[in-house]
Amino acid sequence: MSNNSKINEIYEKIKNLEEDLKNEYEKNKQKFYFDNKFNKKFQFDKEYIKEYKSKVINSFKYLWRERISIILTIPVIWSVLIPAFLLDIFVSLYQAVCFPIYRIPKVNRKEYIIIDRYNLFYLNKIQQINCLYCEYFNGLMGYVREVAGRTEQYWCPIKHANKTKDTHSRYNKFFDYGDAKSFQEEIDTVREDFDDVKK
């Protein structure tokens, strides 16, 4: 693959900044709770719970203050879960069958679909259900994207000619659009370049 040191340098800076951002998120948590290492659950301060649990808006009042047009969209929102569940099943089945054959490391679904916000004490039942939906659905999209990205790296690792809005985690390993020489000479190397995600 053609070596573009400037692109690689920028990519490394981005990855380092992403790690810094994750570390800052972790530090931020300390303002609200501490991590109980024994049972691996996040514990909130009792006084903190008492103060904000008392301010939770009743589920009925929460719905009552919404516009009727918003309430009428609820069946539409939840209907999306049907294809989402099917997608989850088929993508998991696909990588279970195909990734070992391609020698691609499997994506750990648990690293993407994280269900932990739905039972927060400062949410009412409606908000908890909404959180459960969102954390599952957005986690699923991240999981599917990573499976698709690894698949793309194996079968067609070529960058787009047009500028993209966003890229997946494997994109930096792809060949430049139009770089026929590198593609033909180094495709096998790129197809096997998963060292960074091997456990």
- 125-183: pLDDT as tens digits: 999 999 999 999 999 999 999 999 999 999 999 999 998 888 899 998 999 999 999 99
For residue 162, the SS3 value is coil
Question: pTM of the full predicted structure?
Answer: 0.84
Rounded CA separation 35/199 (Å):
26
Do the Cβ atoms of 15 and 5 come closer than 8 Å?
Answer: no
For residue 34, which phi and psi values (nearest 5 degrees)?
A: -120, 160
Pairing state between β 41-44 and 33-36: antiparallel
DSSP string, 63-116: HHTS-HHHHHTHHHHHHTHHHHHHHHHHHHHHHHHHHHHHTPPPP-GGGT----
Q: Is 84 left (phi over 0), alpha (psi -120 to 50) or beta?
A: alpha
Which residues are 34's β-sheet partners? 43
Convert the pLDDT of each residue in 80-138 to its tens digit. Answer: 999 999 999 999 999 999 999 999 999 999 999 999 887 788 999 999 999 999 999 99
Rounded CA separation 114/138 (Å):
9
Count of other CB atoms within 10 angstroms of residue 96: 10
